[in-house]
């Protein structure tokens, strides 16, 4: 393998590891939060990521927003996009690391 190609694979591997770190930290924090019996701390509760991972908007049945809801009355719910972004980061990071980890063990020509 040529040196330029080897350096390129090493850079891809490092970028993949960087992309894998936030999802791995999120999994560790989630696991600590699940298995803790009392307050798990600011790290495990992911305090700065967002207070509510889901939002519920309560709308009285009498009111309608015809221009937005096509005549549907009632409540709505929403979810944070952070889990999707963390999942996409994990997929991209694993793809970059998959075939490039061996580049740290080989020498270039």
* Residue spans per domain, the chain: 3-104
Q: What was the pLDDT predicted at 18?
A: 95
Q: What is the pTM of this model?
A: 0.66
Where do we find the tokens 């990521």? Answer: 49
- Are the C-beta atoms of residues 26 and 86 closer than 8 Å to each other? yes
- Per-residue pLDDT band at 56 (split at 50, 70, 90): low
Q: What was the pLDDT predicted at 81?
A: 74
Helix 82-98 / helix 3-35 crossing angle, nearest 10 deg: 140
For 6-45, write each residue's pLDDT tens digit: 888 889 999 999 999 989 988 888 788 777 777 767 666 6
Nearest to 3 by CA among 101, 11, 17: 11
Backbone dihedral angles phi then psi of residue 80, each to the nearest 5 degrees: -65, 150
Q: What b/e sequence results for 9-37 when a residue is b if at least 16 CB atoms lie within 10 Å of its CB, and e otherwise?
A: bbebbeebeebbeebeebeebeeeeeeee
Q: What was the pLDDT predicted at 27?
A: 84
Where do we find the tokens 């020498």? Answer: 107
Q: What was the pLDDT predicted at 30?
A: 78
């Amino acid at each position: 393998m040529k040196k330029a190609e080897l350096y390129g694979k090493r850079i891809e591997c490092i970028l993949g590891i960087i992309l894998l770190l936030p999802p791995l930290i999120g999994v560790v924090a989630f696991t600590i939060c699940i298995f803790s019996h009392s307050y798990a701390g600011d790290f495990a509760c992911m305090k700065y990521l967002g207070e509510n991972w889901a939002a519920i908007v309560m709308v009285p049945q009498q009111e309608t927003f015809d221009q937005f809801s096509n005549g549907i009355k009632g409540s709505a719910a929403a979810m944070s996009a952070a889990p999707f972004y963390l999942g996409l980061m994990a997929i991209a990071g694993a793809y970059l690391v998959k075939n490039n980890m061996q580049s740290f063990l080989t020498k270039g020509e």
